[in-house]
A and B are shown apart, each in its own frame.
Chain A
Amino acid sequence: MSTAAIRRAFEDRGHELPGTAQTHAQRRRALDHFGELGLPGRRIEAWHYTDLSSFADKAFDFFAPVPDDAALDSAARLLASHAPIDSGTRIVFVDGHRIESLGDAKADPSIEILPLTLESTALADDSALSALNTVFLREGARVRVTGRAQAPIELVFVGTGRGFAPQLKLAIELAAGAEATAIVSFIDVAGADEGWLNLVTDLTLGEESALTLYRLQTHDAQLNHTAIHRASLSRRARLVAAHVERGGKLVRNEFEIALQGTEAEAHVFGLALTRDRQHCDTRIVIDHSAARTTSRQDYRAIVADASRSVFNGKVIVRQHAQHIDARQRNDNLLLSTKAEVDTKPEFEIYADQVVCSHGATVGELDEEQLFYLRTRGIDAESARGILTTAFADTILERIAHEGFRERARRVIDDALPRTIGIG
């Protein structure tokens, strides 16, 4: 959809969106801002390897109706094979609408789940995609954690494969000293129409709070997915964000993490498995603006067929942020000569007492390792499987929550035989 077509869609049906005259004006301002920026693409530095300008030719529907019985049925069937990972509250969205009957609310005095509206969220429509999110945002979820949450909060986004383009928002706010784990997953009923999910996630971590955010993306091959995670961390707050990407058509996943309080810590690690003609782009920006802050980035991609993986990890250390420890790693395993990897580390360092490191590798399976395994009686195909699994495991074994780790491992293991050509 071109910018003009998006504007037309808003003019025609924008009145159906919830909110007051004030919010409507807010949407319109965001639309103007989006109009100025346009769909992001190569001309923007941060989008060097991923271009959404092709979206101009596609017909996305920003006004997914409230799911009817048939849609709810297919969503319920899909959910039946995606059992809850833990015993906490489960929130389910279908085509962008929260469906309470498919969710499961558990009482936990330290967690409050509120509806998310435009009025309730802070605005930061700096980028085209977050502006677009504001224009069509219908709902989302706001999770407030005031103590130590008893079990992870699970958020499941289900698509029914009908070419919708829901604009969704999550806000997770941790009070000082609070602790929580959130598990976000994306699943779809296989569909013929190309869809697009655009999600903005705001994470606010109070002093000495700790948030673990897990993300498991197993979209259908017809789904485009753009996600922006913006986090701000106060003094001694700790964020662990682990993401596993296995599905989708074009996927862009951004993490913008501001370490604003001293001794705040962010660990972002991820694993992507791309196949066919998938395109998966992960961008991580960590902004150290306070002293004695720590960051870790560790991202691995297994890139098969004619797919493409992009990694752009950026570390900014502000002038007065001394005693910083920032490390970044990106390792890529190419399983096909047609696969492509683009990796780009970036560092902007304005302080002088900084420990900073980065490393990136792009390679195929190691022939010496393959031969060694074969001399132990393991056939060539299994040896390839073992080494590919081992490559993925380096990330997976760092996932602390056992249920999520095993779910993620299964998602990768199930996809591997076909990925390495032994299925």
Chain B
Amino acid sequence: MNLLEIENLHVTVDGTGILKGLDLVVRAGEVHAIMGPNGSGKSTLAQVLAGREDYEITAGSIRYQGEDLLQMAPEERARNGVFLAFQYPIEIPGVNNTYLLKAALNAQRRARGEAEVDAFDFMRLIKDKMKVMQIAEEFLHRSVNEGFSGGEKKRNEVLQMLMLEPTLAVLDETDSGLDVDALKLVASGVNSLRDPQRSMILVTHYERLLELVVPDVVHVLTGGRIVKSGDQTLARELDARGYDWVQREAGAG
């Protein structure tokens, strides 16, 4: 079953065309990696999937679980199982991490017609997941991402993902700026979520994450379009040779 179908997507940011006819199909249970040089539109795609409103969709469609994703507000998408791990997680002073996670979880549960999470169950769940991500207990009392190091912010994004158990997870360069140990943590968090019902899109610059989270499909996004797709060997080739040859090939084709 196709979880996500993107067809001929054109997106303009501040009057500049960024995505120029992007096609992508992700089936349930698949992990897709999207690689590409800076400025190719990878982050724009991630933000558009999450529902960013100041990016203009000028053509194309996105269907998620058979429905028109572009008609849904960001919060509806989230409640329907779409999750974006931000490239630059936002700091929110004065909003406590525990509060945010609980509000997010309950918003999702209410949308599914379920009762709010029991306070005791919630604490047990969050403490389990914090252990997986090796996040210290004091984190519970801190403001969202405030004063976090780059690596802590990325781990926090993955923690949120583990708590919310999305159906479609989009990780926007969650691996950049991480040391080897943090990268392993993030990868094990991501791998723990792999499931036949769950799909993931890993937006990344580097092949090293893909050694730890082996993708089903690797795409090269350049010039606002996916110009080449393959398996993990494509990622290795890109790592060794760069993007020029793909761009040349695409240009020639």
Q: Which residues of A contact B (CB under 8 A)?
A: 366-369, 371-380, 382-383, 386-387, 389-391, 393-394
- Given contacts A369-B92, A394-B93, A394-B94, is CB(A379)–CB(B75) below 8 Å? yes
- Given contacts A374-B78, A375-B84, A380-B73, is CB(A390)–CB(B95) below 8 Å? yes
Contact of A373 among B52, B92, B164 (CB under 8 A): B92
Q: Which residues of A contact B86 (CB under 8 A)?
A: 372, 375
Contact B92 A377 (CB under 8 A): no
Nearest residue, chain A, Cβ from B101: A376
Contact A390 B94 (CB under 8 A): yes
Nearest residue, chain A, Cβ from B163: A376
Contact B93 A376 (CB under 8 A): no
Q: Is B182 an interface residue (CB 8 A)?
A: no
- Given contacts A371-B52, A371-B74, is CB(A378)–CB(B94) below 8 Å? no
Q: Chain B's nearest CB lies how many Å from the CB of A369?
A: 5
Q: Which residues of B contact A368 (CB under 8 A)?
A: 90
Q: Is B162 an interface residue (CB 8 A)?
A: no
Q: Which residues of B contact A372 (CB under 8 A)?
A: 86, 89-90, 92
B29-53 near A? 1/0 per residue, CB < 8 Å: 0000000000000000000001111
| Measured CA separation A366–B86 after assembly (Å) | 16
Q: Which residues of B contact A371 (CB under 8 A)?
A: 50-53, 74, 90
Nearest residue, chain A, Cβ from B84: A375
Q: Is B111 an interface residue (CB 8 A)?
A: yes
Contact of B75 among A366, A377, A391 (CB under 8 A): A377
Q: Is B100 an interface residue (CB 8 A)?
A: yes
| Measured CA separation A373–B50 after assembly (Å) | 11
Q: Which residues of B contact A386 (CB under 8 A)?
A: 95, 103
Q: Which residues of B contact A391 (CB under 8 A)?
A: 94
Within 8 A of A (CB), among B86-139: 86, 89-90, 92-95, 100, 103-104, 107-108, 111
Contact A387 B78 (CB under 8 A): no
Tell me the count of chain B residues lying within 8 A, CB to CB, of chain A.
Answer: 29
Nearest residue, chain B, Cβ from A381: B75
Q: Which residues of A contact B154 (CB under 8 A)?
A: none
- Given contacts A371-B52, A372-B86, A386-B103, is CB(A377)–CB(B78) below 8 Å? yes
| Measured CA separation A389–B100 after assembly (Å) | 13
Contact B111 A377 (CB under 8 A): yes
Contact B92 A376 (CB under 8 A): no
| Residue from A367, A378, A391 having most chain B Cβ neighbours under 10 A | A378
- Given contacts A379-B107, A386-B103, is CB(A374)–CB(B92) below 8 Å? no
Q: Is B79 an interface residue (CB 8 A)?
A: yes
Q: Which residues of A contact B74 (CB under 8 A)?
A: 371, 374-375
Nearest residue, chain A, Cβ from B160: A376
Contact A373 B94 (CB under 8 A): no
| Measured CA separation A367–B55 after assembly (Å) | 13
B67-84 near A? 1/0 per residue, CB < 8 Å: 000000111011100011
- Given contacts A372-B92, A386-B103, A390-B92, is CB(A377)–CB(B108) below 8 Å? yes
Q: Chain A's nearest CB lies how many Å from the CB of B103?
A: 6
Q: Chain A's nearest CB lies how many Å from the CB of B89?
A: 8
Contact of A376 among B54, B94, B107 (CB under 8 A): B107
Q: Chain A's nearest CB lies how many Å from the CB of B168?
A: 12
Q: Chain B's nearest CB lies how many Å from the CB of A139?
A: 42
Given contacts A377-B78, A394-B94, 8 further A-B contacts (CB under 8 A): A368-B90, A369-B92, A372-B92, A375-B51, A377-B107, A378-B104, A378-B107, A393-B94
Q: Which residues of B contact A378 (CB under 8 A)?
A: 75, 103-104, 107
Q: Which residues of B contact A380 (CB under 8 A)?
A: 73, 75
Q: Chain B's nearest CB lies how many Å from the CB of A273?
A: 15
Q: Chain A's nearest CB lies how many Å from the CB of B204?
A: 19
Q: Which residues of A contact B77 (CB under 8 A)?
A: 375
Question: Can you identify 17 A-B contacts, CB atoms within 8 angstroms?
Answer: A371-B50, A371-B51, A371-B52, A373-B95, A373-B100, A374-B75, A375-B75, A375-B86, A376-B100, A376-B107, A377-B75, A377-B79, A377-B111, A377-B164, A390-B94, A390-B95, A390-B143
Q: Which residues of A contact B50 (CB under 8 A)?
A: 371, 375
Contact B73 A387 (CB under 8 A): no
Q: Which residues of B contact A366 (CB under 8 A)?
A: 90
Q: Chain B's nearest CB lies how many Å from the CB of A69?
A: 47
Contact A369 B90 (CB under 8 A): yes
Q: Chain B's nearest CB lies how many Å from the CB of A384?
A: 12
| Measured CA separation A371–B89 after assembly (Å) | 11
Contact B95 A376 (CB under 8 A): no
